[in-house]
A and B are shown apart, each in its own frame.
Chain A
Amino acid sequence: DQQVKQNSPSLSVQEGRISILNCDYTNSMFDYFLWYKKYPAEGPTFLISISSIKDKNEDGRFTVFLNKSAKHLSLHIVPSQPGDSAVYFCAASRKAAGNKLTFGGGTRVLVKP
């Protein structure tokens, strides 16, 4: 059973516009959520995270929103840049379960110049 889902396999956006990536989860025990960016043949690079006690976290061009009642989180990238073209993974963890990460399937983002 897939506890973390990214329902959009791909997203295309114009440079300078906003990219919005979505992620849904089923396990209400998750208490920490993270977004990673991945280029081909490289390991995931950490972008931003949010604790379950918050509903928003910002870091530069990246903002993560958490809606616990809907079990939904989203990542906003604004403005989008060509270098943002990559696969983005959301992940969730539980401190009581050793913080092991459960990943979604990824969303491929293409930012067009």
Chain B
Amino acid sequence: DTGVSQNPRHKITKRGQNVTFRCDPISEHNRLYWYRQTLGQGPEFLTYFQNEAQLEKSRLLSDRFSAERPKGSFSTLEIQRTEQGDSAMYLCASSLNSGQETQYFGPGTRLLVL
């Protein structure tokens, strides 16, 4: 399967702990996006990369959040000192930077902070 993959699929953690999620995009895609979706809402943009460069971060992304894409392939999203309000589905998408792009999503990582 050559789609976008995300790990883990589910994560339960206690408030104050750090968590890290991984996204592996479609192999030839040079753009990678992170979104967050809470219950009953549409996904909201967090940040995106073109190759290894992080080009934009949403104001939703507090200082406790950091994302990397060190070699322009997979990406990690880390949340430090998790809070209950961080509970959400974290979605990764990738696209080919070819003008108007279709983004293809992974299955998501569902985070529950107790």
Query: What is A's interface to B at a CB cutoff of 8 Å?
Result: 4, 31-32, 34, 36, 41-46, 49, 51, 89, 91, 93, 95, 98-106
Contacts and interface: CB of A to CB of B under 8 A. Distances in A.
Q: Which 4 A-B pairs have the closest CB atoms?
A: A103-B42, A43-B105, A32-B100, A100-B45
7 contacts: A43-B91, A43-B106, A44-B43, A49-B102, A93-B100, A101-B33, A106-B40
Contact of A46 (B40, B44, B103, B107): B103
Contacts, number: 68
Contact of A99 (B42, B91, B101): B101
A75 to B, nearest CB: 15
Given A43-B4, A44-B91, A100-B48, A89 B42 contact: yes
Contacts of B48: 98, 100
- Secondary structure at the B interface, as helix, strand, loop or mixed, is strand
Interface in B91-107: 91, 93, 95, 99-107
Given A42-B107, A101-B35, A101-B43, 18 more contacts: A34-B103, A43-B91, A43-B105, A43-B106, A44-B43, A44-B105, A45-B105, A46-B103, A91-B42, A95-B100, A98-B50, A98-B55, A99-B103, A100-B33, A100-B56, A104-B42, A105-B42, A106-B42
Nearest to B109: A43
A35 to B, nearest CB: 11
Given A98-B55, A100-B48, A41 B110 contact: yes
Most buried by A among B41, B43, B56, B108: B43
